[in-house]
Amino acid sequence: MLKTPHNSLTKLACGVALCAFAAISQAKADITLRIAHTLDNTHPVHKAMDFLGERLKHHSNNTMDVAIYASGQLGSERELIELLQIGSLSMTKVSASSMEAFVPAMRVFSLPYLFNDQDHLWTTLNSDVGKDLLNEGIPFRVKGLGYYDAGSRSFYSKTKPITQPSDLKGMKIRVLSSPMAVEMVDTMGGSPTPISWGELYTSLQQGVVDGAENNPPSFYLSKHYEVCKYYLLDEHTSIPDILIIGTHTWNKLTPQQQEWLQLAMDESVVHQRELWAKSTQEALDAVKAAGVQVMKADKSLFQQSVASMIEKYKQSELGPVIEKIIAKGK
C-alpha cells in the first residue's frame, strides 16, 4: 500500500480541485463517474473510455455517465491512485506495474517471455487468473474492472542494431524504474539504466543511453525514432493497462449499476484492442517510412538468455501464479 501521510493526501485532493465535488456526482438520479488519466485524448485508452461512457449511458438508459480528465490534469498515476483510495475520484487507468504496490503478484507481467503470444496473454487475462488479480487490490480500496491492451515492449537502439542478446553487451539501455526490468536487461548482458520518460529523448540524443524499450505507438509518438534507427520486435514483456475503480465509489453503486458499469467496461476492452492494433500498425508504418530498420527477433535466443530468471521466480512467492499462467498457454 502506498504510505503517503494523511495530510498529504488531503492537500493533494484539494490541490487538484476535486474537493468541490465527490467522486460520484448525483443530480436528478443521474450519476456521473469521474475518470482521470495521464494520457492525451488521442490515445486508444482515452478513446476507449469515451466508448465506455457511451455504452454506460446506453445500458443505464441515460442514468449513468462518465466525465474524463486527460493528460495528467488531475495528477500523476500515483496521485490518481491515492485519490481513488480516499474517494475523491471514481476511476483511473494504471499500468499493471503500478499495481505491484497493492498486488505483488502483478510483477509476473514484468517477467520476460512468460507469454507465448498475444493469444496466451489474453486467455490468461480473461481467465480466473486475470480476474483474481483484478480483485486483489480491494483490501487497499481499489478494484480492477478490466485490462486494456498496452502492447509488447521491444528494444530500439541508436548506433547499432540489436539482433541477439550478446549485442546488448556494453550497451546502456533505458528501462522502467522496476527491479524486474533492471534484472531482465542485466541478465541479457546489457547495462540497465532507469531514466524518466520525459528525459529519455534528450538522453538518447546526448548518448547518456544507447537505446531503450517500449511498444510501437510509444516509440513513434515520443519521436524516439528520430534518434534511434533500429527497432527489434523481440516483444519481451506484455504489461497490460488496468482500469481501476475506488471501492468508495464501487460500493455506493447498486448491484444493477455495478452490472451496467462492468458490461460497458467489457465492451470498451474489445473496442480498445481494435484501436490499439490499428495504432500499432500505423506506428510501425510511420517509423519505417522515416528510415527506421524494423526487424523481427529470433525470440528463442532471448528466451534462452533469461531462462534462469524465470526458474528463479518459479521458486519465489510468484511461483503459483507463474505456473497457472504457463498452464494457460499449453
Q: Tell me the DSSP string of 264-313.
A: HHHHHHHHHHHHHHHHHHHHHHHHHHTT-EEEE--HHHHHHHTHHHHHHH
Assigned domain for 30 exists = yes
pLDDT attached to residue 23 = 59
Under DSSP, the state recorded for 97 is: G
Confirm whether 118 is domain-assigned.
no
The domain that holds 268 is classified in CATH as: 3.40.190.170
Q: Which domain holds residue 48?
A: 6-95+240-280
Q: Is residue 318 part of a domain?
A: no
Burial class (CB within 10 angstroms; exposed 0-12, middle 13-18, buried 19+) of 198: exposed
What is the rounded CA–CA span in Å between residue 181 and residue 187?
A: 10
β-strands 64-69, 30-36: how paired? parallel
How many domains would you assign to the chain?
Answer: 1
Q: Per-residue pLDDT for the chain (330 aa), expressed as one digit of tens each?
A: 444 444 444 444 444 444 434 555 554 448 999 999 988 888 999 999 999 999 999 999 999 999 999 988 999 888 999 999 999 999 999 989 888 888 899 999 999 999 999 999 999 999 999 999 999 999 999 999 999 999 999 999 999 999 999 999 999 999 988 889 999 999 999 999 999 888 999 999 999 999 999 999 999 999 999 999 999 999 999 999 999 999 999 999 999 999 999 999 999 999 999 999 999 999 999 999 999 999 999 999 999 999 999 999 999 999 999 999 999 999
What is the number of other CB atoms lying within 10 angstroms of the CB of residue 313? 18
Which residue type, as a one-letter code, is found at position 328? K
Q: Which of 144, 140, 138, 100 minimizes the C-alpha distance to 126?
A: 144
Instruction: Write down the pLDDT at residue 319.
Output: 97
User: CA nearest 219: which of 269, 286, 144?
Assistant: 286
**84 within 8 A of 245, measured Cβ to Cβ:** yes
Does any domain span residue 15?
yes
How far apart CA 151 and CA 10 sit, in angstroms, is 35
Query: DSSP readout, 57-84?
Result: HHHTTTSEEEEEE-TTTT--HHHHHHHH
136 in a structural domain: no
Dist. CA 204–CA 224, nearest whole Å: 8
Cα–Cα distance list, 229 to 20, 224, 237, 291 (Å):
48, 9, 21, 7
Whether 274 is in a domain gets the answer: yes
Q: What are phi and psi of 164, to 5 degrees?
A: -155, 160
| Any domain includes 53 | yes
pTM over 0.85, yes/no:
yes
Please indicate, yes or no, if residue 29 is contained in any of the structural domains. yes
- Give me the amino acid identity at 291: G
